[in-house]
Every structure is written in C-alpha cells, then in structure tokens.
Amino acid sequence: MVKALELSVKEKQLHRALVLLERFKEHGDDIRVNKTNKLLKKIHDNEFITAFSGHFSAGKSTMINTLIGEQILPSSPIPTSANLVKVHGAEEDFAKVYYHTERPLYFQAPYDFTTVKEFCKNGDVTEIEIGKRDSLLPHGVTVMDTPGVDSTDDAHRISTESALHLADLVFYVMDYNHVQSELNFMYTKNLLKHGVKLFLIINQIDKHNNAELSFPEFKQSAIDSFATWGVNPAGIYFTTLKELEHPENEFKAVKMLIDEAFENHDTWLETTIEAAFNRLIDEHKKWLNEEMKAEAEPFEEVISVYSETELADIFSKEQRLKGNKKKLAETVEKWEKNFVSERESLLKNAYLMPFETRALAEQFLISAQPNFKLGLFFSKKKTEEERKVRLDNFASSVRKQVESQIDWHLKQWASEKLAEYDLNSEELQLKAQNLEVVFDDELLTNTIKKGAGVNGEYVLNYCEEVADRIKKIARVKTNQFKETVILVLKMQVENEMSTIQAELNQTVKAANALRSLIELEKTYEEKATRITSPTGNERGLLQGLQADWEIAQQDVQFYTRESVQPAEMSPVIADEIKQPNTNSEAIIDIQEMIKKLERAISHLKEEKGFKRITAQLAEKASRLKERNYTVALFGAFSAGKSSFANALLGKGVLPVSPNPTTAAINRICPPTIENKHGTAMVHLKNENQMLADIAQSLSIFGYNCLSLDDAYNQIPNILAHLGDDSTEKIHLSFLAAFLGGFQSYKDQLGMSLTTNLEDFQGFVGNETQSCFVETIDLFYDCDFTRQGITLVDTPGADSINARHTGVAFDFIKNADAILFVTYYNHAFSKADREFLIQLGRVKDAFELDKMFFIVNAIDLASSKEEINEVLDYVHGELTQNGIRFPKIFGISSKLALNQESRMASNIDTFKQEFDHFLEHELTKIAVQSAEADYNRVLLLLDELIASASEDEDKKVQRKADLLASQETINSLLLEADPEKLSSRLSQEIKELLFYVKQRVFYRFSDFFKEAFNPAVLRNNNRAHLKKALEELLDSTGYDFAQELRATSLRIENFAKKLLFERFAIMEKELQSIKREITISQMDINFVDTPDFKLAFEETDRKPLEGTFKYFKNPKAFFEQNEKKIMGEALQKILVPIADQYLNDEQKKLQTYYQKMINHEFSKIVTNISSDIEEQYEAWLQALSDQGKLSEWIQIRSALGK
C-alpha cells in the first residue's frame, strides 16, 4: 500500500512536471524548459542532490572527500573545479565526462582516476559524473561539486546556477578569511531568491587567532553581516577539516545534518520537488512578466508622457478630436452655405420700394414718357429739367432705402460672419465696413421698358425690377467679399486642421498603445493562468522523454588512452621561479666610502673653489649615513597585509581582523627626536575631503548634500536601504561609520592629533574613527625601522576612495621598494588584477626591480609540494598580468610572530633577500654617485697642483687663456635653451598615446564580458543594462587613466633621457673649450605626476544606450550573436570619444613635461655655471698663490686614491 502511494506521488510529480514542460515550450521559455527537463529526469530517477558551492579553494572538494570517506575529487589551494562534478553510488565504478556538443566520454572500470582529475580541471568540459560501486552514499543520493563562484567564465556561471536549482540541499562553503567578501553576500542572497534550502559553511576556522579577535565575536560578526544583506539561511556552520578536534569545529553537526537528510531523502525529495515546482512557476511568471514588459516597452514609451488622468480620458479624447476634425473639415462649406442663405434672407427682407418711393418712381416714369411736356414756351428745356428733378428725387429715395435696408444690414451681418470664426484682421473688417450697393442713375433709366404705359401695375413691376437689379449688385459685392473671406478661412482651417491632426495622431498613437497594452496584459494573464492546465499530451511526451533518456544513456564514446586525450592545459609558468639569491658581487663598503667623503670635506671645506663640491659631498655622506627608505605595502582586502606588516615589525602593531576596515594610509616610521617611540600623528581629513567622500557615497543612492551636517541628517533614511549589490553595501558601511563618529570628530576635521599606540589601533581598526582619517604616521622603534625604513600600509586595491588610485601610483613610482601581499589560497580579484596589470606596465620603467611578491599563510599547506604548486600558480598569474620574472616569496606571518616557529615561517629568507636589495642594490647607486664626486675632487686637486707647479711665464699665459675660455663658456651658457627638445618630446608623447589606445581597446572585449554578464542580465530589465553600461565605461575609463599614469612614467624617463643627452652635449662642448672642466652629476627628479580623470565620465549616455536594441533577452544575448554585435556597436561609438580624450590628455602632457624640462634645464645651467665658476676660481688662485701648492700636495696625499 505504501509503495503504491509512493508511486502515486511520483506519478503526480511527473504529470505536473510534464504539464509545466508543455506550457513552457508553448510560451517559448527555453530556460525553464531546460530546467524542467532536468527536474523530470531527477523525479524519474528519484535522485536526491546535495550541492556544494562557494569560493574556489574554500575546501569544497576536501569537504566532499571527507564526507564520502575517500579522495574522490581533486583538492588543491589553486583552482580545480572548473566544471560541475557529480558523485553517486553505482553498480560499477565509472566516470562520465559531458561536453556542450560532443557525445559524453565514458571511463569504464578500472580507469586511471588521474586522467579524470585532469578533465576536472579542464574548463571546456561542462560536467563530470562519477559512479562509485563501494560508495558510502545511499542509493539515489548524489553529491555535486560546482565551479568556484568567483569563476570569470560565463559558461561556468550559467551551468552552476542552472544546476543548483535541482539541489535538494545546498551548502555554500567559504574560507575563514573571506567571509566578508561581497561575492558571498550577493551569491547567497541570489540563491535564497531562487528558493534553495541553503546552509552556510565557514571553513578553515583553524586559521582563527584569538589574540586578534575572540571567536564568539568573529562568529557573531559573520552572522550579522549576512543578516544585514538579507541572507537568512537554514543554518550557519563553522568548520575545519585540518583540526577535527578544534573546540569550535561544527563539522560533526554538518555530517549529522547530511546523514539525516540522506537517511530520509525520500521525504526531503517530496518537499524539495514541490518547492522546485513553485520556483519554476514563479520564475516562469516573472519571465512572462519580463517578456510582457519587453513587448510592452514600445507601448509604455508612447504613453509614458501622459498622466494617469490623461490616460483615463484618452479614448474620449480620441473621439472628440475625430469629431473636431470632421467638423473643421466642413467649416468652409458650411460657412459659405450659411453666408449665401443668410444673405438671401437679408436681401429678401430688404424693403426698397415703400409707397413714397413708388410715388416718386411713378412721377419719374411719367416724365420719362416720350410725350411728356411741360409748359408752352421754352417747354423743351423745362421738360428736361423736370425729368432730371424727378430722376434725382427717385434715385435719392432709392439710395436712402438701399442704405437703410441693405448697406447697413450688410455691414453688420458681414462683421458678424467674420466674428463667427474669429476672422478679425483689419483688412477683412475694413472690407466688411465698405460693403455697400452703389448704382448709377442709368440703372433706373435702363430698367424702363420702351412703349410701356404708366399705370399702377407697371409702376409696381418697374419698382420690383429696379429692386432686383440693386440686389443683384449686392450679390456681386458680397460674393467678392465671400471669396476673400473663404481664402482666409481656408488658411485658418488648414492651420487648425494641422494642429488637430498632430494632436489626433499622438492621441490615436497613445490610444492604440493603451489598447495594445490592455490586450497584451490580457494575453499574458491568460498564459499565466494556463501554466498548470494540462494539455492532454503529457503521457505521449513522457514516453518520448524516457526513450530519449535511454538513448542518451547509451550514446557515449568509450575512453581509451589512444583515442581521447584531455585538452592540453596551458603551462602555468615558462621558467623557474626566481628564488632568493645572494648577490655574488663584492659587498660595497659603505662605511669606507663615508670615511673618504668626510676626509675630503674636512680638508677642503674651507678652501677657495671647493665650497660647492664639499657641500655636495657632505649631502651624499649624510644620505649614506642616514639611509632612509620608503617601502610601500599593497594587497587587497583579507590578503593578510596587516598581519605581514606585523611580522616585519616583530609585533602586532597593526590591528588584524578578518573583517574589512575603512582604508587610510598608515606610515610606520623610525622615531625622531620630536616623535618618540609609540607616538602616532593622526591626520584627519579636512572638511572638503570628507564632504567629497560622503557626496560620492550619497550619489550611489541618488542623494546629494551641501554640507556634512546636511549629510548627517540624511544618512539615517539611507541606512534603512539594504543595498542590492556590493557597491551599495560598501558605501552603506562607510556612511554608517560616518554617522557613528561625526559628532566626535566634526570639530577636529583638518587637524593633526598626537596619540599613543593604543589609540592608534582604534583609528586604524574602528570604522567610526578610521573613516575620518586621511593618513597616520606611527613612530615605532624596531629592527625593521632602525634600518631607516618607513613602511607605508596603503589602502587596498579595492578601496572605494577615488583619491587612492592616484596616491597608489605615486607610491608605486616613488617608493624605494614595493611589497604586494596575496593570500595562500586566495584568487586574484578584479581589483587585484587591475593593480597587478599596472605594476606590469611600469616594472620595466624602473632602473631596479623593486617589486617583491609575498604569498602569505604558507602554514596552511599540507606539504612542500603544495607550496611549490601555489607559488607556481601565483608566478603564472603574475606573468599573465605582465609582470615578468617576479620575485616571489612564500611566508607565514602567523608563524613569524612566534619566536619558536619563526624559522618555519620563511620570513628570514625573504628578509635576507630584501635587506640585500636595500643595503646593496639601492645603496650601490648612491655609493657610485658619491664615488664620482669624490673622484672629481681628486681630479681638481691634481689640476691645481699641476697649474701651481708651472713657471711664471706659463702661468701668465695660462691665466690669459683661462679668462678667455671663461668668457666663451659664459656666452655659451647664456645661449643655452631647451627648445630643441620640444619637438622630440611631442613626437614621443604622440607615439606613446597611440599605443595607449591600442592597448585599452585590446582589452575592451574583456571589460564588456565582465560588465554584461549573465549574473547581471538575468531578465529584460533596462536598468540592469544601464548598470552594465556604467560598469563598462568605468572599467574602460579607468584603464585609460591607468595607462596614462604608466605612460606618464615613460614620458618622464624620456624627458630625463633628453636632459641627460643635452647635458652630455653641453659637457662635451665645455670640455672642448677647457679640457679639464668637470661637472657635478645631474640629479633630475620629477616627483609629481599629472592628474588623469577617467575617460567617458562626462560622455552622453543616450547614444550608447541606443545599442540596447541588440538585447532581446538573456538567452539570445549570450547564446546568439547579440552580445558581439552590441560590443562592436559600443566600441564604434566610444573610439572617437576616446580619440578626443587622448587628444586633450596629449596636450596636457605636452604642456606639463615641457614645463618640467624647462625647469630642470634651468637648474642644470645654473649648476653648471656654479661648478665652472668655482673651478675657475680655484684655477686662478693656483696661478696667483704659490703658497697653496704645498698645502694642496699634502691634502692630495692625505686623500690617497
């Protein structure tokens, strides 16, 4: 009965998965199709999966080996798991290697597991499955090891993430020293978003040092840090596999948890498969939502300019505008029709022939009869006069009637017709007011019908015809007015029509977009509701899948040594690691050189002509006696930098913690008279520096501030924000530290505080204090500082402070030695790699190889072979980043601080090589310089003795020659100028910057790949694309700035070379005039470096965002050609912008270094003049003062060779 129930549950699960598979296929969700296919296989095989994820070298493989009870997976402190590795029990031992496209490779028992291990390290393989006949794993249980989450390979990330959704139990393993890595927080937060059953394992706690931090404090700090990021796993375990009896070791609890899960895996499976269904449905709904958003984006863009109120009225507005358009289209025709109609009505109502006018008409008609005659005498004249009077009377009456019955009404009506459509132009109004019916008297006479008798009927007919003729004139007049008005009205209508049409077009577009959105939402809602609805094809689909699985199980290629070889792994290094060596050259006797210099000074400092050169000797003697060195210490967070510094100092001077602290620059200096041992000078940031740092962090969250008080008031609101990524978290931490310490330090900003060693550690280790610190000078007496060494503990390579990039380069450039510390099993982060690339750029520009690379914590190694393997790996990484022949030392700072274990720490081996570099390689240059000046003294003395020994005649001639040559030399020096160097400098800068552009764009595809990666672009969210674009511009812009910094060093060396060449030419010219002239060595030093802003900081983003059109969805982007197309499109836009940037920087570099050359050249000429003046003074004295000869001979004898 129980078995039947189990089958029933399994059948239900299979059916449910098949329904989802069909729907996902129907909707085109390939990612969910792939996941569901794998889930179906998992349900079918009843497979329980326990997955291990985390950083490489966090001990994942070793943890699995320990749980299984044998060395089943390769474990190493360098990257190994480049692929998914699955281990489970089987009837026979086998190993199976899966590829992207080729058939799987099957290793039959017995097989050489070393060969399979090589495949485990091969990144071209997607997955490796290992079956163990005698495995301790229960039947149906699989353990999965994933590639390190810090893998930079897109394919690895995708395969890891797609596999983890199948896991019933996930353990995220991290190294003790890297708990606080942002990658941990981001990755685990993302895992929880996907609903996995997550447990955290903080491994290798045997590294913990209670002297640095109590374990309960460390434990709570780790728990709190994850909680701050919103990561609340099912459990957190602290383990070590190196010291199984460690009091804090919770490995047994992990083992118990796994054993319980394995024993009851059927029950777990039911729960996790149900969770997987829910997760897939949730993911698909989100995918549908993203697809809908992508499809809706063009429609959303259309309606984005409208308010909600406007959108609510958009359909009504559409109808109104269409109605308005139709109405407007009929305006002219309607106006014209109304015009004619109203005019006819007006004329019809115009009563032109009242009784009085008709009576006058009758009198006029009578007078117009041919037989009309008035009087007997002079009757003709009187008749004509009478006729005219009667015509005038009639005409006058008619005109009055026309004026009152037509003209006045026409004018008023015409104005009203204009007003109907706001036709208020003066021209039209004038035409309306000028409307009047004008007729000649002929109209009255011509209307008379010849032969008609005058009677009442004819008079009426005549009057009516006259009225009609007058109204006809009125029609003609008004028609002219009408046509003029229509022309104007048409223009007005066309303008209004254009406006309405434009508005209608936009409204129709918005209305259609809104309709599409409504329809789209409806469509996707229907899709979402159908996700779990059966299609009826499930049974047939399962049968097909089972057949496919069976075929896939058999479709393998069997491994033979001859037929298949693992892909050749690139050798890590090409040559031997440079081991510490003892320089075979004779040890320079510095003390003997100092004695020689002091002897020369004591004999010659008061001698005329020797004051300048003895002052130079005194300066060099002082440098040799008080040798001071600046040693810059670099390394990323948790590289063991502070711990290593303490090992050098012999005591725990710098606070050490696995938790990150805000970066400041700490200088550990030899004590002075003013600053005794244990004194610290804490230099706080000034208000402007603090404000700039705070503003930078606030801007991440869209805030700005006018003052520190303003920021202080805003920050509590921002701290409520959990932060979505590592950048936000880092800035939140800084803002929280500022908030905690502001009231204590706001009145001390810009000040330098003198404090003791205990308080110093607070300023270094306590974030609420250290965030206000710019630099700290600690004066500390120990063997290391007694060598004259100032150790500068620099901010990490991953510092968020923008100023630190330039500061770091200044230390690289000006420090006497550079120490870069990396951790024994720590992968180089992006920040590390960028810093190492910068070191590689400039390494060959230095006269000496002053770089030392420290691999800290070699005490973690299990054997000497493992140490060499790690050192080989680091050597290869450094070489790959452009650092040729690196000097690498493996040490243990932990062992070095304990006198009993110091010998095993290997720090003395490093110190021996390092001290030799300081005491001999560096000092050798200073000694050689001092030796050259000392020999100048001897040559000058020999010349003076020879001159003073000559006879008087020769002295007179020699003196004349000296004065002449001195005048010639002075003229030559006056004419000397550096202008000839300008063109060569310009050409060199131009050429160097050409290669800068080439190198940066050579890396562009890598920057693009890092920015536009699957972890960021999980969906079609445009904001993610913008974020990726910003990262790309930051990386590329930063690389330009870094390249320019490195180039500035090459330009500086070239400028020095130009000056040295010019100096040599001048020296040769002077010696051609006076062979005995000797010039003191040049000391050219360009301390400062120009500032370089990041490229693309002010570049308009809109054209660049236009390339987002190539991104349809993550699958198409990464699996098809969209990624390449977008990258090429972005590069095409950025190239001309980069050209302008480099052009601007070229001008800046030309101006800067030309100014430096001019300045240094001026110093050279001044020094040469001073040297020559002193030498001539001595020579002239030798020719004039015979008494000095014996004294000079004695001095020369005392100085020896």
Domain ranges of the chain: 1-45+264-304, 49-263, 320-526, 980-1157
Task: Supply the pLDDT for residue 781.
Answer: 93
- pLDDT tens across 488-503, in order? 888 888 888 888 888 8
pLDDT recorded at residue 974: 83
| Confidence band for 806, pLDDT divided at 50, 70 and 90 | low
Helix (H, G, I), strand (E, B) or coil at 848: coil
DSSP sequence for 537-560: -HHHHHHHHHHHHHHHHH--EE--
The DSSP bridge pattern shows strands 84-89 and 141-145 to be antiparallel
Q: Which two tokens stand for residue 258?
A: 């796994």
Matching CATH number, 49-263, of 3.40.50.300, 3.50.50.60, 3.30.70.1230, 3.60.70.12? 3.40.50.300
Query: Is residue 791's pLDDT more than 80?
Result: yes
Kindly state the average pLDDT of the residues 511-518. Answer: 89
Cα gap 1137→1036, rounded to integer Å:
12
Select the highest-mean-pLDDT range: 448-457, 638-647, 704-713.
704-713
Among 824, 852, 884, CA closest to 632:
852
Ranking 81-85, 190-194, 400-404, 609-613 by mean pLDDT, the lowest is 81-85
pLDDT of residue 74: 61
Residue 837: strand, helix, or coil: helix
Q: Please tell me the distance from the alpha carbon of residue 707 to that of residue 507, in angstroms, as a whole number.
A: 47
Q: How far is it, in rounded angstroms, from Cα 608 to Cα 663?
A: 55
Q: How much is the pTM? A: 0.64
**What does the pLDDT read at residue 123?**
53
Q: Which two tokens stand for residue 317?
A: 């507005």
Lowest model confidence (mean pLDDT) among 208-212, 236-240, 471-475: 208-212
Beta pairing, strands 773-779 & 665-669: parallel
User: Considering the chain, what is the average pLDDT of its residues?
Assistant: 82
What pLDDT shows up at residue 578? 38
Residue showing tokens 């449905």: 281
- Give the residue from 931, 891, 920 showing the smallest Cα distance to 908: 891
Per-residue pLDDT at 720 exceeds 80: no
pLDDT for 574 equals 29
Please compute the mean of the pLDDT values over residues 77-93 and round it to a whole number. 74
Of 775, 785, 764, the closest CA to residue 649 belongs to 785
- How many residues does the structure list for the chain? 1201
SS3 call for 1157: helix
The highest-confidence range among 657-666, 718-727, 1105-1114, by mean pLDDT, is: 1105-1114
Statement: residue 1 has pLDDT above 60: no
Residue 152 pLDDT exceeds 60: no
- pLDDT value for 680: 92
**In this structure, are residues 647 and 896 in contact, taking their beta carbons and an 8 Å threshold?**
yes
Residue with token string 């003066």:
426
Indicate whether 1068 pLDDT > 70: yes
pLDDT at residue number 565:
57
Quick one: pLDDT at residue 239?
92
- Structure confidence at residue 769 as a pLDDT band (50, 70, 90): confident
Calculate ∠ Cα 559-563-565, nearest 5°. 80
pLDDT of 370 reads 83
Q: How confident is the model at residue 3 (pLDDT cuts 50, 70, 90)?
A: very low
DSSP letters for 661-720: ----EEEEE---SSS-TTEEEEEEPPHHHHHHHHHHHHHHTT---SSHHHHHHHHHHHHT
What is the Cα 502 distance to its own chain's centre? Answer: 41
Which segments of 304-330 does DSSP mark as H helices, in order? 308-312, 314-329
Contact in structure between 367 and 450 (CB atoms under 8 Å): no
Q: Please give the order of strands across the beta sheet that includes 235-238.
A: 235-238, 198-203, 169-175, 48-54, 141-145, 84-89, 127-132, 94-98, 105-108, 557-558
The confidence band for 681, taking pLDDT boundaries of 50, 70 and 90, is very high
User: With bands split at pLDDT 50, 70 and 90, how would you rate the model's confidence at 940?
Assistant: confident
DSSP, residue by residue, 389-417: HHHHHHHHHHHHHHIIIIIHHHHHHHHHH
pLDDT at 661 over 60: no
CB 1017 within 8 A of CB 1114: yes
* Distance of alpha carbon 131 from alpha carbon 109, whole angstroms: 10
SS (H, E, C) 732-779: HHHHHHHHHHHHHHCCCCCCEEEECHHHHHHHHHCHHHHCCEEEEEEE
DSSP class of residue 96 equals E
pLDDT above 90 covers a percentage of the chain that reads 6
3-class DSSP state of 152: coil
Query: What is the tens place of the pLDDT at every residue in 276-289?
Result: 888 888 888 888 88
Instruction: Enter the tokens of residue 333.
Output: 């025709």
- What's the whole-number mean pLDDT along residues 921-929? 82
110: preceding bond cis by omega (within 30 degrees): yes
Q: Give just the sign of the alpha carbon dihedral 839, 812, 788, 622.
A: positive
